[in-house]
Structure 1
Amino acid sequence: MTTDLLPALTAHVTATAHAGPRACRCTTATLAVREDATVVRHAGTVAKAHAPDADPAELALRLTVATRLTGILLPPLAPAPAELHGRLVTHWPYGIPVDPDDPDAAPWEAAATLLARLHRTPAPVAVPPMRGPAKAALALARLRAAAPRHPAATPVLRAWAALPPWARGEAPVPDTVTLCHGDFHLGQLLRHPASDGPWLLIDVDDLGTGAPAWDLARPAAWYACGLLAPDAWHRFLAAYRAAGGPAVPPDGDVWAALDVPARALTAQTAARAVTKAVAADRSLDEVERSLVDACARMSPSARPRAGRSSAQ
């Protein structure tokens, strides 16, 4: 991120939030500063500067989908991205995210229902493939560059190498029709700040057509690694099935569909964890170690088992 992007984005969102120039005492806050996104809020308006390599045509298509799929995706405030300091900028209404300090209140059923509805809805415009496998491949590439000889890198890289080419972003995803979020986790949910209104999915950067099982893969991987309570996982899965989600069969074993994406997300998350630990010159924490240990349990001969993926 250029050093002058954050103040420029702050001034930009302040101007966008009001119809005309005027002094105000509205709340301004920096919500995220990452390599791939900078997000600033002023009053009820949020401005997001997307990754430097974001494609303007693809982002415009994804914004169109969000505009048309009301009730599933948070609609943008403007139909096309702006440009600021060489970065594409989009504008969104502010919403309340899931509270990370209250896991018992996590809206697993609402999230699963939204995903099922998204997967069952035909894409209103032609969109590119969802970017889940490509982002996972990027995380592994960064691990190879940052710490190829770190002891924890070996099982992660082996687990990644055992995946089929489509899950490593090296071949087309075997579904070119189903509309997917591409990077689902509970941080991708918001609701209106003034009410207990419905939850909506946010962040269209990775949205596109692809394997819907990818959107269930992160909760599946957490469950398989022991990081998500069985009750939460079963509530999520039951709600997805009840809403007619096509990623898994309506009953019976789900791991034939989820095993490969769950292993891919486990390797991606472990790769990010090791890369961050190396950059901070620290040891892996307990959660990070559990992800690496899950990768060590994976092998090319692993097959789905009833109840858990081969990530366990």
Structure 2
Amino acid sequence: MTVDVLPALTATVRCAAHPRGGGCGHPDSVLAEREDGTVVRHGGTVAKAHAPGTDLGELSLRLGAAADLPEVFLAPLRPTPADLHGRLVSFWPYGTPVDPDIPDAAPWEAAATLLAQLHRVPAPTGLPAMRGPAKAARAVQRLRAAGPHPAAASVLRAWAGLPAWARAEAPMPSARFLCHGDLHLGQLVRHPGGTGPWLLIDVDDLGLGEPAWDLARPAAWYACGLLPPDEWGRFLDAYRRAGGPAVPSTGEPWPALDVPARALTVQTAARAVAKSAAADRALDEVEQAVVDACARIASIPPKLGQ
């Protein structure tokens, strides 16, 4: 993010929180600051500066889709983004996020139910493609740009073994479902804060695509040994109870989940290795686990039909 945008974004969220002027005693807080977006809160209002180069028309469609699904998505405060020094900015009410320090309270059932509801919505006309595979491809590009690393080879071998659609090199086999595109527990908030229902946030990757992609990150964590079997079971069972179409209602889910879970494992490993190389440090235990999973993935062909 350029030096002058963060102060400007902070001023912008204050104005959005106090449209009639004046002020309050609430401090400003930076909730996220990454290359793909920066998020600032003031009181009950949140402003997000989206990634440079974000398409105005596509973001507007995604904001509209979220606004039309208030029981699934946190609704934006404004229907269209604003321009701030060449960056598109959207405005949101503040919701209470998942507490990472209380893993036993992780809302896996709520996340699965929201996904099932989202996947069952009739696809809006004109919505762009879900960007999950494109995000995975960008992670691999960053890995290649990071320079030599002893773990890179196994990650790239696993990537090369994926079908073209999972590498964003061909259309997805199913593009008729509305998908979140980047589901993890950080994408859920309670609104009203602390007491309201869980809702999805982050529309940047929202679009039409393969619904199994939205189940892929928890599936990948489970396959890597990072998500306990009971938590994975709670998530999968809740999705099935809610009528989610990504996997069969009974029986083996992995033929549908195999390729997306492999792709999310590679994406996670690629990011980890790139960060490790940039910081000139060794991989930590979790990072090593996903890299080891890539080595296993590279040795086993994907499920047929995927």
The superposition leaves residues 259-293 of structure 1 with CA deviations (integer Å, 9 ceiling, x where unpaired) of 00000000000000000011111000010000100
Specify the code of the residue in structure 1 equivalent to 2:79: P
Question: What is the CA–CA distance in structure 2 between the aligned matches of 1:235 and 1:195, rounded to whole Å?
Answer: 22
Q: Which residue of structure 1 aligns with residue 73 of structure 2?
A: 73
* Structure 1 segment 45-124 matched on structure 2, within 5 A: 45-124=45-124
Question: What is the CA–CA distance in structure 1 between the aligned matches of 2:15 and 2:72, rounded to whole Å?
Answer: 28
Q: Which residue of structure 2 aligns with residue 229 of structure 1?
A: 228
* Structure 1 segment 1-312 matched on structure 2, within 5 A: 1-147=1-147, 149-299=148-298, 301-304=300-303
State which drifts further: 65-74 or 291-300: 291-300
Write out the 4+ residue segments of structure 1 that deviate beyond 6 Å after TM superposition: none
Maintained 8 Å contact 1:65/1:123: no
The superposition leaves residues 94-131 of structure 1 with CA deviations (integer Å, 9 ceiling, x where unpaired) of 01000001110000000000000000001234200000
Specify the code of the residue in structure 2 equivalent to 1:138: R
Specify the code of the residue in structure 1 equivalent to 2:174: D
Superposition deviation, residue 201 in structure 1:
0.3
RMSD: 1.2
Question: What is the CA–CA distance in structure 1 between the aligned matches of 2:193 and 2:253, rounded to whole Å?
Answer: 38
Question: What is the CA–CA distance in structure 2 between the aligned matches of 1:188 and 1:125, rounded to whole Å?
Answer: 24
Question: What is the CA–CA distance in structure 1 between the aligned matches of 2:59 and 2:12, rounded to whole Å?
Answer: 20
The superposition leaves residues 62-91 of structure 1 with CA deviations (integer Å, 9 ceiling, x where unpaired) of 000011011001100000000101100000
Maintained 8 Å contact 2:94/2:193: no
Specify the code of the residue in structure 2 equivalent to 1:197: G
Secondary structure, aligned partner of 1:41: strand
Maintained 8 Å contact 1:178/1:212: yes
| Structure 1 residues 252 and 120, CA gap change in structure 2 (3 angstroms) | same
Question: What is the CA–CA distance in structure 2 between the aligned matches of 1:303 and 1:21, rounded to whole Å?
Answer: 58
Specify the code of the residue in structure 2 equivalent to 1:150: H
Secondary structure, aligned partner of 1:40: strand
State which drifts further: 124-133 or 43-52: 124-133
Question: What is the CA–CA distance in structure 2 between the aligned matches of 1:266 and 1:250, rounded to whole Å?
Answer: 24
Maintained 8 Å contact 2:154/2:298: no
Question: What is the CA–CA distance in structure 1 between the aligned matches of 2:66 and 2:134, rounded to whole Å?
Answer: 21
The superposition leaves residues 4-54 of structure 1 with CA deviations (integer Å, 9 ceiling, x where unpaired) of 111110001001101212132123111111111010001100000000011
What is the number of residues matched between the two proteins? 304
TM-score, normalized by length of structure 1? 0.95
Superposition deviation, residue 299 in structure 1:
2.7
Maintained 8 Å contact 2:74/2:191: no
Unaligned runs of 5+ residues in structure 1 are 306-312
Secondary structure, aligned partner of 1:252: coil
Among all aligned residue pairs of Structure 1 and Structure 2, give the percentage whose two residues are the same amino acid.
69
